[in-house]
């Protein structure tokens, strides 16, 4: 068991894994992709110095204290204290202050849990060659060779680090691991699934896996990071461990998943349950999600 002992401006941020839209998404969910940024060259030494200062500011924050404690508690519920980290959508770490703080948080997790982290996989299709080379030199990780659209199937306990990524990436992670055994081994740091599900234009058929997971997931909100609040604003931990005291599920109705049926008459808040009590017909659903150009995702080749 792991113990819990303690030993510029941001106007060029962009949403990771999002295509450029004429409409803007809420800032706590996603940001539009700014493809006009020229960050092909940057001073690596200056960037490194700035990143170390940001790591120090996170390390001494109450935000980090709570985050570290939650990861430890989650690991203690796992069968093994070894885990992978899979990160999508960090954005341009050479120019975005928010992306730099998020990278620093990822690096801090990898350092503090160095004995527990088995492998770190990272990917963002918008990275420049310079950013990729910098990451390879400054964090022990494997950069994925292709855009898998977050369709990553775990092989052990895994932390998905996906701050501010949109519904498709969250939905794809769930679809790729849609079983009790896999979901119990997953911890997501990203947007709230419940906030997605409660959105005005939420499509139940398209985001089936987000919709049904809200009936048995546990979400934990971290305290505000006071030094630069928008870096982690409204980001939460999502886990799928067994709930101890919750009402049983009272007959979830199976929804139609035809792509032609864009709307649903049963868009409602599902009742909470334990993951062990979710009906089998929910688990046997395995249709791959389908997205259009209007969705917040850059598709792979």
**Average pLDDT of 176-201?**
95
Residue 88 to residue 162: CA distance in whole angstroms:
5
Residue 173 to residue 165: CA distance in whole angstroms:
12
Q: Of 212 and 14, which is predicted with more confidence?
A: 212
Residue 132 to residue 125: CA distance in whole angstroms:
10
Confidence of residue 237 (pLDDT cuts 50, 70, 90): very high
What pLDDT shows up at residue 241? 74
Confidence of residue 297 (pLDDT cuts 50, 70, 90): confident
Confidence of residue 206 (pLDDT cuts 50, 70, 90): very high
Q: Of 251 and 148, which is predicted with more confidence?
A: 148
Alpha helices in 60-179 (DSSP H): 62-76, 97-112, 129-138, 167-176
**Average pLDDT of 111-117?**
97
Q: Of 29 and 84, which is predicted with more confidence?
A: 84
What pLDDT shows up at residue 150? 94
Handedness of CA 138, 139, 144, 147 (dihedral sign): negative
Find all residues with CB under 8 Å of 264, minimum gap 6, and list them.
203, 204, 205, 255, 256
244: pLDDT strictly greater than 80: no
What angle, rounded to 10 degrees, do the helices at 129-138 and 44-59 form?
Answer: 50
- Tokens representing 84 are 């992978």
133: pLDDT strictly greater than 80: yes
Q: What is the pLDDT of residues 43-101, one digit of tens each?
A: 999 999 999 999 999 999 999 999 999 999 999 999 888 999 999 999 999 999 999 99
- Phi-psi label, residue 116: left if phi above 0, alpha if psi -120 to 50, beta otherwise: alpha
What pLDDT shows up at residue 257? 33
- Beta-bridge mates of residue 87: 122, 161
Q: Of 145 and 174, which is predicted with more confidence?
A: 174
Domain architecture of the chain: domains with CATH: 44-283 (3.40.50)
Q: Which of 73, 296, 71, 69 is nearest to 202 (CA)?
A: 296
**Kindly report the CA angle at 245 between 239 and 248, in degrees rounded to 5?**
90
Burial class, 70, CB count within 10 angstroms (exposed 0-12 / middle 13-18 / buried 19+): middle
9: pLDDT strictly greater than 60: no
Q: Which of 174, 194, 196 is nearest to 186 (CA)?
A: 174
What 3-state DSSP class applies to 190? Answer: strand
What 3-state DSSP class applies to 123? Answer: strand
What 3-state DSSP class applies to 51? Answer: helix
What angle, rounded to 10 degrees, do the helices at 62-76 and 97-112 form?
Answer: 50
What pLDDT shows up at residue 267? 53
- Beta-bridge mates of residue 221: 236
Q: Tokens 């990553």 correspond to what residue?
A: 152
The per-residue pLDDT of the chain, averaged, comes to 82
Residue 35 to residue 25: CA distance in whole angstroms:
16
What pLDDT shows up at residue 42? 86
What pLDDT shows up at residue 35? 38
**Average pLDDT of 12-18?**
39
CB 103 within 8 A of CB 216: no
What pLDDT shows up at residue 274? 84
Q: What is the pLDDT of residues 208-232, one digit of tens each?
A: 999 999 999 999 999 999 999 999 9
What pLDDT shows up at residue 263? 39
Q: Of 278 and 98, which is predicted with more confidence?
A: 98
């Amino acid at each position: 068991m792991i113990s819990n002992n303690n030993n510029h401006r941001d106007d060029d941020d962009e949403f990771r894994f999002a295509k450029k839209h004429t409409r803007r998404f809420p800032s706590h969910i996603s940001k539009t992709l700014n493809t006009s940024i020229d960050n092909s060259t940057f001073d690596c030494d200056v960037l490194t110095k700035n990143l170390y200062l940001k790591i120090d500011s996170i390390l001494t924050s109450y935000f980090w204290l709570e985050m570290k404690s939650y990861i430890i508690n989650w690991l203690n519920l796992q069968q093994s204290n070894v885990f992978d980290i899979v990160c999508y959508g960090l954005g341009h770490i050479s120019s975005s202050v928010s992306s730099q703080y998020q990278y620093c948080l990822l690096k801090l997790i990898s350092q503090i849990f160095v004995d527990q982290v088995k492998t770190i996989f990272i990917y963002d299709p918008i990275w420049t060659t310079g950013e990729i080379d910098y990451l390879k030199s400054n964090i022990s990780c494997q950069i994925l060779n292709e855009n898998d659209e977050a369709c990553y199937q775990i092989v052990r306990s895994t932390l998905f680090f996906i701050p501010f990524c949109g519904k498709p990436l969250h939905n794809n992670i769930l679809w790729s691991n849609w079983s009790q055994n896999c979901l119990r081994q997953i911890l997501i740091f990203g947007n709230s699934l419940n906030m997605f599900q409660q959105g005005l234009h939420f499509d139940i058929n398209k985001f089936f896996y987000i919709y049904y997971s809200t009936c048995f997931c546990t979400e934990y909100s971290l305290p505000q990071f006071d030094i630069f609040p928008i870096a982690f604003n409204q980001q939460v931990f999502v886990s799928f461990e067994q709930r101890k005291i919750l009402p049983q599920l009272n007959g979830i109705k199976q929804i139609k998943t035809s792509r032609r049926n864009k709307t649903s008459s049963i868009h409602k808040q599902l009742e909470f349950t334990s993951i062990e009590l979710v009906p089998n017909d929910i688990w046997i659903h395995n249709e791959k999600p389908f997205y259009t150009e209007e969705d917040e995702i850059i598709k792979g080749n």
